[in-house]
Amino acid sequence: MPTSDGLLFSANLESVAVQDIGKHRRTHHFVQIFVADNKVVTSPREACSEVSKWEWNAETKIWFEPSSTIKVVLFRGFKIKTPIKLTDDVVGQYEGKIVDLVSSDAGLEMKDMTGSLVSEKLKITITLVSGPSIDNIKEFLDEVDASVGRLKSIGAGGGRTVSVLGNVLQLTKNIFDNLSQETDRQDDYVRDLATSLREMLATADKVPYLEVIPNIPNVIKDISLQSLQVALLIDEYTKLGRAGRTIRIQVDLKPRIEKCNADCASLKAKLHNAISLDTNIRLKKMESSRQVETVIKWLSAPDTSVNRNDANKKQEKGTCSWFLENEQFLTWLESPGFIWVKGNAGCGKTVLCAAIINKIPTPVPSQKNGVAYFLFDGRSNQADYQLVAELYNKWGEAQQPSENDLEDTLRDIMQQFSDTYIIIDALDECTERGLMLQWLNTLLIDTNENPKRLHILVTSRPLPDITKEFLGLKAESIDVFGSNENQDIAKYLEKYMPLKFGKFSQSIQDQIESTLKIGAEGSFRWLALMIAELETCPAEFDVLQQLKTLPKDLNEAYDKVLKALDNKYLAHTKTFLQWLAFSVRPMTIEEIAETITIDFNSNDGPAFNQQKRYIDPKDVLLRCGSGLVSESNGKHS
């Protein structure tokens, strides 16, 4: 790499093209390129054509100072050198500053050896490799500072020259003193120009996302080119002596410096405007995002995704296929409709509901599906709020609704979607079931009057009020019971039989499986309780005895578990179950065990009794009976 005391840049010489080459008996042309009067490349000879073009690879670099000139000479000659030495004719040449050609595609005029313009037009493609780019601002500014720093020493030399001239020409001493002050002011002017450049580049450097701001690439390009122009002026100015600077300032440097300063100010303003505009846009997006967060927080809807995720974990591989492949369900996925999935407690409706949600079509770019779901667990009555919150998350531009306008807001949001899917699980566990049924009725009636692509699916027990309401709404019902549901029971048993009863003979395992399959009647909860009870049997005889006295349904199963509890610790069991039933989130075993340390019956109000703390928190499971409470990842289930 060449060395230089001044600012040094490198660029790729990519191509040279010449247009309007006239016909001549010498049919081939070539170019020679000079930088600072040094020849850097000679092109191959090309046949005459309307446009002759020579291209070079990235290895063809040129090194130059800001003030360096480039000269391109176009020759006309024969294809090959002839035995007779004939000189090649110079068609024309171009000479100018390299910095004026960087990233420029303008056509350039050439002159012949007499200085007259020729018809051929020249185009040079040069791309800056190193120099004042956004990636090496600090290095470039250090070089500019080094050039500006030379002003002090040069200024001192100028002062001595003026002093000598003053001694020789006493009559003009005052004139030279004034001239020295003017030159000092011009030094400050150049320093100001360097400061403007530094401020402009520093502004660009402080914006990490500068290149992604809309309409900013042209400003970046202009800044880079302007940096070259400023570097040229500073480098050219600081290399002059005091007298030389004074003369050149009056001739041409001062207007160029003023123009550069004005251009820097203009570019800095453009940069500030672009950044300010982008900042305003980003702030508006942030404000909109905060409004969305505020609305979601204001709705205060419980996060039922926890219930859904828990249900997904409970689904056994291959189960629910009887429903997901059902013709009624597949039609509902594609076309608007209302399906009621009914079944007794513990039959796996929530697990099935989670599987249904997973089957909702993924939106494509040309469509926008809205999906809202609510899985009741008896702890919340805010279904309306949750449904609005779910759909609001899908359509963030909606305005904040008032409480009285929730239903209208939901309908407005639904209009933004190609299809809207509303899934409600365990409606029978809603504490304000009457209001929910009324809301569903209104929603479906409005849908019939103003058709939308609305898909509603509800799961619940077949309670009288729900059955009556849904019959009036002409809901398509699917019963989670019978041979289809027993397929999932069979798959469940197929997985857990070897895990729970592998210690018994195959004949006993077969008897357990057949008895449980019949007795479950589609209830996974009943099945889980019975498996928990049977796996504690120490001998096959005990298993056979238990199979003869299995409870008939889930209510009897719960009753049997509760009656088997240790009477000595019934108060503890009651406390644990109360906390489990009304906790707003799943509790850890350690948290449940800690509840017993609070004495709510104390005469002085609730009191903490450390001596009541369980040494082993897992004893909570023993107090709550076989299968009534289970632990999953450290939390109750």
* Model pLDDT for residues 366-376, shown as the tens digit of each residue: 566 777 766 66
Among 71, 99, 130, give the residue marking a domain's end: 130
Same-domain pairing of 46 and 61 = yes
pLDDT, position 554: 83
pLDDT, position 94: 93
Mean pLDDT lowest for which of 110-124, 381-395, 476-490? 381-395
Residue 608 CB partners (closer than 8 Å, separation 6+) = 597, 598, 599
- Number of domains the chain is built from: 5
Is the per-residue pLDDT at 511 higher than 80?
A: yes
Same-domain pairing of 335 and 441 = yes
- Measure the CA–CA gap between 18 and 54, rounded to whole angstroms: 9
Residue 508 maps to a domain: yes
Among 481, 514, 531, give the residue marking a domain's end: 481
Mean pLDDT lowest for which of 65-69, 223-227, 442-446? 223-227
Residue 559 maps to a domain: no
Is the per-residue pLDDT at 165 higher than 50?
A: no
* Side-chain half-sphere CA neighbours of 111 within 13 A: 8
**Helices (H), ranges, 346-461:** 349-358, 383-394, 406-414, 433-449
- Measure the CA–CA gap between 323 and 355, rounded to whole angstroms: 10
Among 535, 554, 573, give the residue marking a domain's end: 554
Mean pLDDT lowest for which of 28-37, 180-189, 194-203, 204-213? 180-189
pLDDT, position 4: 46
- Measure the CA–CA gap between 403 and 400, rounded to whole angstroms: 10
Evaluated on CA atoms 255, 258, 262, 264, the torsion sign reads positive
CB 245 within 8 A of CB 188: no
Is the per-residue pLDDT at 286 higher than 50?
A: yes
Same-domain pairing of 70 and 195 = no
pLDDT, position 506: 92
Same-domain pairing of 394 and 475 = yes
Q: How confident is the model at residue 226 (pLDDT cuts 50, 70, 90)?
A: low
**One-letter amino acid of 564:** A
- Measure the CA–CA gap between 582 and 585, rounded to whole angstroms: 9
In the chain, % of residues over pLDDT 90: 4
Evaluated on CA atoms 497, 501, 505, 507, the torsion sign reads negative
Same-domain pairing of 373 and 417 = yes
Residue 12 CB partners (closer than 8 Å, separation 6+) = 56, 58, 60, 61, 126, 127, 129
Host domain of residue 492? 483-554
- Measure the CA–CA gap between 227 and 234, rounded to whole angstroms: 10
Pairwise pLDDT comparison (221 vs 65), residue with the higher score: 65
CATH number at residue 472: 3.40.50.300
Evaluated on CA atoms 382, 383, 386, 392, the torsion sign reads negative
Q: How confident is the model at residue 95 (pLDDT cuts 50, 70, 90)?
A: very high
* Model pLDDT for residues 386-402, shown as the tens digit of each residue: 555 555 555 444 444 55
- Measure the CA–CA gap between 162 and 287, rounded to whole angstroms: 64
Question: Burial, 349: exposed, middle or buried (Cβ in 10 Å; 0-12, 13-18, 19+)?
Answer: buried
pLDDT, position 179: 33
Average predicted confidence (pLDDT) for the chain: 72
- Measure the CA–CA gap between 444 and 579, rounded to whole angstroms: 38
3 state SS of 32: strand
Cα 577–Cα 379–Cα 355 angle in degrees, nearest 5: 100
In the chain, % of residues over pLDDT 70: 58
Q: Which two tokens stand for residue 466?
A: 């729900």
- Measure the CA–CA gap between 104 and 111, rounded to whole angstroms: 20
pLDDT, position 150: 47
Is the per-residue pLDDT at 96 higher than 70?
A: yes
Residue 452 maps to a domain: yes
Residue 3 maps to a domain: no
Mean pLDDT of the region 55-82:
79
Task: Show the beta-strand stretches assigned E in 80-116.
Answer: 89-97, 108-111
Residue 293 CB partners (closer than 8 Å, separation 6+) = none
Residue 289 maps to a domain: no
- The 10 Å Cβ neighbour count of residue 235 is 23
Residue 549 CB partners (closer than 8 Å, separation 6+) = none
- Measure the CA–CA gap between 338 and 448, rounded to whole angstroms: 12
Mean pLDDT lowest for which of 74-78, 109-113, 192-196, 512-516? 192-196
Residue 4 maps to a domain: no
Mean pLDDT of the region 349-377:
74
476-479 and 337-342 strand pairing: parallel
Same-domain pairing of 391 and 494 = no
Is the per-residue pLDDT at 73 higher than 90?
A: yes
* Model pLDDT for residues 234-264, shown as the tens digit of each residue: 666 666 655 455 545 544 566 766 777 777 7
Mean pLDDT lowest for which of 141-155, 230-244, 579-593, 616-630? 141-155
pLDDT, position 608: 84
Same-domain pairing of 598 and 542 = no
Q: Which two tokens stand for residue 203?
A: 């502004």
- Measure the CA–CA gap between 556 and 414, rounded to whole angstroms: 44
pLDDT, position 160: 32
Same-domain pairing of 578 and 530 = no
Mean pLDDT of the region 187-205:
63
Same-domain pairing of 387 and 401 = yes
Residue 264 maps to a domain: yes
- Please state whether the predicted TM-score (pTM) of the whole model is above 0.75: no
Pairwise pLDDT comparison (252 vs 13), residue with the higher score: 13
pLDDT, position 435: 81
Question: Burial, 441: exposed, middle or buried (Cβ in 10 Å; 0-12, 13-18, 19+)?
Answer: middle
Which DSSP category does 253 fall into? Answer: I
Same-domain pairing of 487 and 429 = no
pLDDT, position 93: 93
Mean pLDDT of the region 298-320:
70
Same-domain pairing of 315 and 449 = yes
pLDDT, position 34: 92
Residue 536 maps to a domain: yes
Is the per-residue pLDDT at 158 higher than 70?
A: no
* Model pLDDT for residues 430-458, shown as the tens digit of each residue: 877 888 888 888 877 775 555 467 888 99
State the distance between the two ends of the chain, measured CA to CA, in whole angstroms: 73
Same-domain pairing of 622 and 635 = yes
Which DSSP category does 405 fall into? Answer: G
Evaluated on CA atoms 388, 390, 395, 399, the torsion sign reads positive
- Measure the CA–CA gap between 499 and 34, rounded to whole angstroms: 86
- Measure the CA–CA gap between 536 and 621, rounded to whole angstroms: 14
Mean pLDDT of the region 493-503:
87
| Main-chain dihedrals φ then ψ at residue 150, nearest 5 degrees | -70, -15
Residue 155 CB partners (closer than 8 Å, separation 6+) = 183, 184, 187, 242
Highest mean pLDDT among 207-211, 352-356, 409-413: 352-356
Residue 105 CB partners (closer than 8 Å, separation 6+) = 123, 125
